[in-house]
Amino acid sequence: MDLRARQALVTGASAGIGRATALALAKRGARVTVLARSHEALETLLPELRQAGAEEAWALAADLDDREGLRKTVDEHLRQRGPVHVLVNNAGGPKPGPILEAQEEDFLAAFARHLLAPHLLVRLVLPGMREAGFGRIVNVISTSVREPIPNLGVSNTTRAAVAGWAKTLSRELPPGVTINNVLPGFTRTGRTEALKKGNAEKTGKTPEEIEAEWIKVIPEGRIAEPSEIAEVIAFLASPAASYVRGQSLAADGGRLQST
């Protein structure tokens, strides 16, 4: 699980699973680069990363929706700081709603953020991974890859596309460079809180009642903490996962009924 002398790039790192993942990789001794739109939020994270064990830590303010700006920012970082060996693709999900209510622009925006931006990042970091003979790409997507989630039409569609992209890419990446997906279940993040409140408003129930309904279908009997998902990501990012490739690993407390 040792990641010393490796550099990791984590997107969507200002909060939730992304932030927890950056800290988990820092604990393994990696040099950690965190990327998000808010530079202020990232700056407050840097001292925590160093305290957790990161050899070095840097912040990149960039928007996944602006691919040209993203390309310039990451390209310059690679020139200054050297190759990235671990890439964690993580971003906030598309807005909820029935799929029949989704407009064309909703799908285009979701595909741009969750598929085109990660594809760009892979193309940028892959030369360094290939030269090092070591690379780990981990995509944070959703259990909807296995079982679509009601009222998340655009997200269900986009996440499935990302899983297909990753599986295809797993057959093309060179030896030593792997790509895998983590499928978080209900996790205490801002996204989950927003979905809980939205469901409560639609049904007339309280947010607490909505959460209780979620927990009923989770054999583990609770909502996950971001740090628990981050530990799964850290494993897939480590040398220990050298023979895991092209997989979608659910971290959902046993909620999924499919295999």
Characterize the bridge pairing of strands 57-61 and 86-89: unpaired
Distance CA 248, CA 149 (A): 17
Q: What is the pTM of this model?
A: 0.96
DSSP bridge pairs for 10: 34, 88
Residue 133, number of CB atoms within 10 A of its CB: 11
- Integer CA distances (angstroms), 50 to 19, 27, 44, 53, in order: 13, 9, 11, 5
Give the E-state strand segments of 130-251 in sequence order. 135-140, 177-184, 248-251
Distance of CA 194 to the CA centre of its chain: 18
- Confidence (pLDDT) at 259: 80
The pair phi, psi for residue 7, each rounded to 5°, is: -105, 135
The pLDDT of residue 58 is 98
Domains of the chain: 7-186+225-251 (3.40.50.720)
Judge whether 229 and 182 are in contact, CB under 8 Å. yes
Q: Tokens 């979608």 correspond to what residue?
A: 248
Q: Residue 42: what pLDDT? A: 94
Question: What does the pLDDT read at residue 1?
Answer: 85
- pLDDT score recorded for residue 187: 97
The helix (H) or strand (E) run that includes residue 250 is strand 248-251
Q: What is the mean pLDDT of each run of 10 residues along the chain (259 residues)?
A: 95 97 98 95 95 96 97 98 98 93 97 98 98 98 95 96 98 98 96 90 93 96 98 98 98 94
What's the chain's Rg over C-alpha atoms?
Answer: 18
Total number of residues shown for the chain: 259
